[in-house]
Structure 1
Amino acid sequence: MTTQPTASATPARDLEGRVAVVTGASSGIGAETARELAARGAAVALLARRAERLEELAARIEKDGGRALAVPADVTDAAAMRAARETIVAELGRPAIVVNNAGVMLPAPIEQHLTDQWQRQIDLNISALMTTIDVFLDDLVAAGTAGGPADLVNISSIAGENLFGNFAVYSGTKAFVTHLSKHLRMELGPKRVRVSAIAPGVVSTELQSHVTDPGAQEWLEGAAQSMELLQPEDVAATIGFVVSLPRHVNLERVVIMPTEQTA
């Protein structure tokens, strides 16, 4: 029997000396990205609201020989994010990698007028992403202009460009992330800051457990039964590759799809 290689193979420690910030680090893509970057040698700051999960993840990373700092914070709270930055700089140093991963997916027919869910997606997927950029932008520019690699990685979605029933608001927020990333690359590239948008297809994460719309639930359950979904570590491995490239190489946009997903 042929053994397939996995995305979790131990990477080279090619991020030694760099400090990374990962939002939404308490589960899913964020948690696996933190582990991946730490395994590559980065000192990783873990940002999310669930302190207990962050502490468990930090302990796991430390046990595996990495360095991690749990920084409980609500990414939608600008003051909390500024305070988190001060803690990170004091404990680990100025960040040179920022992974904007925190997000929520709440699909529903637009005619249901679920304005609270619309706003929650806008607050987390757009406003909090912008707050994170605002808080850490000067650190990234400083890293880039000082001669080292600097990376802003924004997690978008294939939904930002493809059409999925009942996903209009979520898809709109992810289209914003993708387009924003292209513009920021134009602005920050000359300052040697790389900007990348990562757009996964269907990933098996707890994000799907937040979905309450029956139609969207049925579609997601059908996808899980009909194909092998992406795993968080698949996306994490891709992010690790993107930020470990030579500093003159910028993968502007990476689409990661399950092999069997066609839309």
Structure 2
Amino acid sequence: MPYENLAGRTAVVTGAASGIGEAVAVLLAAQGARVALLARREERLAAIAGKIRADGGQALAVVADVTDEASVAGACDRIHTEYGPVDLVVNAAGVMLPHPVDARRGDEWQRMLDTNVTGVLRMIGAFTADLVGAAQDGRTADIVNISSIAAHVSFPNYAVYGATKAAVTHLSESLRGEFGPRDVRVTNIEPGFVESELRTHIADAELSRQVEGMLAEVGALSAEELADLVAYVTSRPRRVNLRQIVALPTRQV
């Protein structure tokens, strides 16, 4: 499906080594955007970027860790050197590490907070000047944050993960007050079950079985279907901001 207004844009996509991030990067590039793919896995990133280029797209593999300020700053510098200013940021990096709160897995709490919340803030901060500048020049500028239905639907053993995603949803709402008056759009997308590597993060065998059982019962959206949503919202006329989208498999209630 063709999308208007994506050709010629410069996008950064985090979590681009797999899942939603990979699918978003591939689709944006197929629609004519220059895409910087940002993630930690160098070989995986290089393979995806190589495939995009082989298919006629423009892609830059940038190895970086959103939990590290210096790493993000270095990635920003490289992207500016190779591509110039950015007008589209998609925050798709995330980790899901469920455990009961009384398991007191402080290391996992910190990892989720650093990736799912602070990582989003680092990326937005790194490219704020680009986004505002693009909007001032009359071009479309977008921030897209991938949150989760867990932001406002509670699941036992997922309290901390849900709290991080609630933070992303609230952050997105608040950022509209800062960026909207400057013509930068902010979109928050809350998926339900999606085929991705997130469920492979689950170390507890019983919790893993529960997730697999739910997926077998209600199914899951594909990463490509979520990418389609990102491409749709970012290709609307610049005066149209689709602020909040909840996307679930039809059988998920």
Which residue in 2 is equivalent to 1:39?
30
Which residue in 1 is equivalent to 2:10?
19
Which of 229, 236, 252 is matched with 2:227 structurally?
236
Which residue in 2 is equivalent to 1:54?
45
C-alpha displacement at 1:249, in angstroms?
0.3
Which residue in 2 is equivalent to 1:159?
150
Unaligned 5+ residue runs, structure 2? none
Give a deviation string over 1:151-203, Cα, whole Å, max 9, x none. 00011000000011110000000000000000101110010000010100011
Which residue in 2 is equivalent to 1:193?
184
Distance 2:68 2:219 in 1: 36
Unaligned 5+ residue runs, structure 1? 1-9
Give a deviation string over 1:89-116, Cα, whole Å, max 9, x none. 1111211000011110001111111111
Identity %: 50
CA contact (8 A) 1:13 1:41 kept: no
Which residue in 1 is equivalent to 2:172?
181
Distance 2:7 2:215 in 1: 37
Amino acid at match of 2:132: V
Q: Does 1:139 align with 2:130?
A: yes
CA contact (8 A) 2:3 2:235 kept: no
Runs of 4+ in 1 over 2 A off after TM superposition: 10-14, 213-216
Distance 2:43 2:134 in 1: 31
Distance 2:164 2:51 in 1: 33
Deviates more, 1:82-91 or 1:45-54: 82-91
Aligned length: 253
Which of 74, 85, 91 is matched with 1:83 structurally?
74
Which of 159, 164, 168 is matched with 1:168 structurally?
159
CA contact (8 A) 1:96 1:151 kept: yes
SS at match of 1:55: helix
Give a deviation string over 1:29-65, Cα, whole Å, max 9, x none. 0000001111111000000010111110111111111
CA change 1:249–1:13 in 2 (3 A) is closer
Which of 77, 84, 100 is matched with 1:93 structurally?
84
For residues 248-263 of structure 1, the aligned pairs below 5 Å read 248-262=239-253
C-alpha displacement at 1:86, in angstroms?
1.3
Which residue in 1 is equivalent to 2:94?
103
Amino acid at match of 1:204: E
Aligned CA RMSD, in angstroms, stands at: 1.0
SS at match of 1:195: strand
TM-score for the superposition, normalised by structure 2 = 0.97
Give a deviation string over 1:91-144, Cα, whole Å, max 9, x none. 112110000111100011111111111111011111111111111111111111
CA contact (8 A) 2:4 2:236 kept: no
